[in-house]
Amino acid sequence: MGARIVSERKAAASRGAKRGVQAALAVLLLAAATCNAQASWPSRPVRVIVPIAAGGVTDVIVRHAAQALAPRIGQPLVVDNRTGANGMIGAEACARAAPDGQTLCVLNTGVISVNPVVYERHPFDPARAFIPVVNLYTLTGAVVVPAASPFRTVQDLRAAAVGRTRALNFGTIGPGSYPDMFLGWLNAYWNSEIVGVPYAGGGPVAIALLAGEAHVSAAALGNFIGQIKGGQLRALAVSGSSRSRLVPDVPTYGESGLGDFRGHLWWGLFAPAGLERALVSRLNREFGTLFREPAFVTFLESQAAEPSVGTQEAFAQFVRADAEWTAGLLRSLRAARGAGPAERR
Q: What is the pLDDT of residue 39?
A: 63
Average pLDDT over residues 51-74: 94
Q: How confident is the model at residue 165 (pLDDT cuts 50, 70, 90)?
A: confident
Are 134 and 319 in contact by the 8 Å Cβ rule? The answer is: no
Q: How confident is the model at residue 16 (pLDDT cuts 50, 70, 90)?
A: low
Q: What is the pLDDT of residue 267?
A: 96
Q: Domain 46-138+265-333 falls in which CATH fold?
A: D-Maltodextrin-Binding Protein; domain 2 (3.40.190)
Whether the predicted pLDDT of 84 surpasses 70: yes
Query: Can you give the residue ranges of every domain in the chain?
Result: 46-138+265-333, 141-263
DSSP-assigned states of every residue in 78-129? EEEE---GGGHHHHHHHHTS-SSSSEEEEEEHIIIIIHHHH-SS-SS-HHHH
Please give the residue that has the higher pLDDT: either 84 or 312. 312
Query: What's at 123, amino acid-wise?
Result: P
Q: What is the pLDDT of residue 107?
A: 97
Q: Output the CA–CA distances (angstroms, integers) from residue 218 to 55, 137, 154, 276, in the order listed.
A: 17, 18, 12, 38
DSSP 252: B
Percent of the chain whose pLDDT exceeds 70:
86
DSSP-assigned states of every residue in 139-198? E-EEEEEETTSS--SHHHHHHHHTTSTT--EEEESSTTSHHHHHHHHHHHHHT--PEEEE
Are 49 and 82 in contact by the 8 Å Cβ rule? The answer is: yes
Nearest to 142 by CA among 62, 222, 78, 257: 222
Residues 260-293 pLDDT 10s: 787 778 999 999 999 999 999 999 999 999 999 9
Same fold, 46-138+265-333 and 141-263: yes
Q: How confident is the model at residue 121 (pLDDT cuts 50, 70, 90)?
A: confident
- The CATH number of the structural domain formed by 141-263 is 3.40.190.10
Least confident of 170-184, 214-228, 234-248: 170-184
Query: Is the pTM here over 0.85, yes or no?
Result: no
- The rounded distance, in Å, linking the Cα atoms of 230 and 51 is 28
CB atoms within 10 A of CB 344: 9
Q: How confident is the model at residue 35 (pLDDT cuts 50, 70, 90)?
A: very low
Residues 198-225 pLDDT 10s: 998 888 999 999 999 999 999 989 889 9
- The rounded distance, in Å, linking the Cα atoms of 254 and 261 is 9
Q: How confident is the model at residue 25 (pLDDT cuts 50, 70, 90)?
A: very low
Q: Output the CA–CA distances (angstroms, integers) from residue 220 to 206, 208, 263, in the order listed.
A: 10, 15, 12
Q: Which regions of 8-102 does DSSP assign to beta strands (E)?
A: 46-50, 77-81
